[in-house]
Every structure is written in structure tokens, then in C-alpha cells.
Amino acid sequence: MAVRPITIIGHKALHQPTKKVREITDEVRTLVADMYDTMDAANGVGLAANQVGVRQRIFVYDVPGEEDGVADQRGVVINPVLEKGPVPPGEPDPEDGSEGCLSVPGEHFPTARADWARVTGTDLDGNEVVIEGTGLLARALQHETDHLDGKLYVERLTPTLRREAREAVKDRGWEAARLTKWDPATQKAEKV
């Protein structure tokens, strides 16, 4: 398959809700295979379709087990529906709550998330899938579903951290250079 360029914060595809997948076609199967290749090349734990410029409600994930005896979790969810526990009030713990994003490469900020989440959807064969977890898996499920709803994690930051994130994006020069994608295979950003 292929590694696709990943959209960078500011690209319109990241700020629009995605569309429900009505039918599993060969194009959808190719997209999912490319998404796995792209996520792996970028060393990510998840990737939503709109991060590669496709407005379909699909994400892939590859979350390492956090404890001994907990297996790695890898898969695809088509048309996910998210349920989650309460988000703790106040400032997120910088040690436990640091979050990054392939569409905001190189940056990590403490992000408040529920410690439990469940996503239901389907796989590539149309079978129902239910993915449920805590910790990093719960964070990934919420993060990827946010992408499909047109939200980036930096929009969930506290006002102070959101300001820091805006400054980090500005310091990287993405807006000034009009860069909108980066290629994980070459590690180079490009204009569209």
C-alpha cells in the first residue's frame, strides 16, 4: 500500500465533521491499508481519515499495552460512536495527561480526557466492533473520534495551554510558510 501525507493543523479537512461510510468499497479498503501504513511510518497510536485528507468516518489505532499482561490493541473502526466517562475537572496532570497529534507534529500538551471510553462501529467486513478501555486506549478513542467530529486536541486545552499551543504552531512557521501537510516517509512538510 502507500504512506500518505498527513494534514497539519489549519488544513480545512481537520476542522470539518466527516461523513458516514455507507458502503465498504475497494477504495475504502485501500484507504484503511494506507492509513495503517501512514500511522506506522509516523509512529502514531491512531490516525483518522481526515488526517490524510479524506472526509470519511474511519479511524485506525495501534495502542501499546500499558501493563504487563495487557496486549497491544490494533484495529479499524468505521462510523464510530463514542461513549465516555466524566472528564476530571481542573488542570490535567502534565505527567499522565500529555497528548500529542500527528497533525500537530512534535508538540505535546496536557489534555483533560475521561479515563474510560468505549467506541462502537463496524470493521471492514461490516461486523460490529466494540472497543473499550482505560488509560491510553481511552485517550486514543476520544482523540480519534474528536478528529472525525472536526476537532483537534488543542481545542480541548485550558486557555493558558491553548495559547501555548498557538505559539508553538506559530514558532514552527507552518502558517507563514502555508504548509498544510507533512510526509511521514520523508519527514518533510509541503504546500498544497
Which residue in 75, 81, 25, 83 sits closest to 54, CA to CA?
25
Mark whether 23 is an active-site residue: no
Cell matching residue 14: 481537520
- Note whether 147 and 51 are within 8 A (CB): yes
**Does residue 11 have a known ligand-binding role?**
no
15 is an annotated ligand-binding site residue: no
Catalytic-role residue among 144, 164, 175, 190: 144
108 annotated as belonging to a binding site for a ligand: no
Give the CA-trace dihedral at 182, 184, 187, 188, to 10 degrees.
Answer: -30
Q: Give the C-alpha separation, 78 to 116, whole Å.
A: 20
Q: Please state the residue numbers annotated as binding site.
A: 101, 143, 147
Q: Please state the residue numbers annotated as binding site for Fe cation.
A: 101, 143, 147
Q: Which amino acids are annotated catalytic?
A: 144
